[in-house]
Structure 1
């Protein structure tokens, strides 16, 4: 916005410069006319007076024209200086804007690097006792580890799919939702050779597979082999993600986002 205003001012100054030059040219032409007229007047007057009076008249006219030209040149010089100053200010402002953008970009880059480091930071697996609400004070044994913005808890007890969902909720956790294929591959490298319930199930009313938070399945999976007629819950193992009857007893994976 400031640069646009400066450009407007430049345009006005340029117009004034052009107008000033035109005025000088006009004054020069006027001076010639005045000189001719004054010479004629003084010539006529000279017939009555003397040649000295004619010389004085001519010198006076020339002096007057020179004074006007001097003032116009002085005005033009001032306008040139103002134009140069404003141009320098504009260049300085543009340079400052570039520098500010560079500083903002560098700050964003550092913030992104910090976020990526946090995303890639993992902690080793440890045994934990989860304190849950139901029954009050009950402890649930699990193996826990954290990586990036998530902590994962592999429950040692086996339950049905609904049993896992409610146990995770009672422990202030959520049954696992896998965000992308990278997370899927990572988890398959971490878990034991067992089957674990995850938060993926088939919604019969919507006729589609979705996660526990109602978000759609976006993993690169071939679900054409899934049979939602009687297998409506999904489990995860080291080698596959597949569907099965929801009343089967498997281990659970709960998660907590940091």
Structure 2
């Protein structure tokens, strides 16, 4: 299945939409011989720039593997991955590390904040390590977008789970990456805190022009996206534009039914 690039907010298939990341005939397999397991099976996908894409599927469908391959965190068995204009398959580890540092942001289920640093110090830490000065105007916009103005001097232990994840989101945004990947970013949060964080991810796309890719199992979380990609058995089997939680849940139930029948 080849998924065409579309700008979900423009109202139709868009051949001219910029691509932030791309997979072509990507295979990811583990093991060999009788123990070989294919996690991704000839996947083609384009991730539109400036849009919010959710990746869904049952456990073991390959959704996290796809995200990790697109983000350069995992090496494909065959096929091609591009981030922007750079093909990352075959890159040496040093160049790949630099590309991830300079062009890709990450938000994970665990907040990964350093307990001895303030919120602001955690936000700027990756740039500090890289010897880069933050763009103060951009950093100010990011802090405003995620609603952390009054919490910048607080350490993680002084913040709620939702606030800590907002710090993690701000950290991912602060370096102005080309694309941000989120792996179940609200998985450790209650529904209210999760909704706040998803709202900030949505605002980062709408107000900051960010590109967001999120793996999730939650129909409510997926409804914040412009587009939902569905994986099953390592293959892209469907997609949905302008999703609602009800539409996503109905589609997931249909997949569950098909799985039981087969």
User: Do both proteins adopt the same fold according to a TM-score greater than 0.5, normalized to the shorter chain?
Assistant: no
Q: Compute the TM-score of the two structures, normalised by the length of structure 1.
A: 0.22
- The structure in which a higher percent of residues are helix is 1
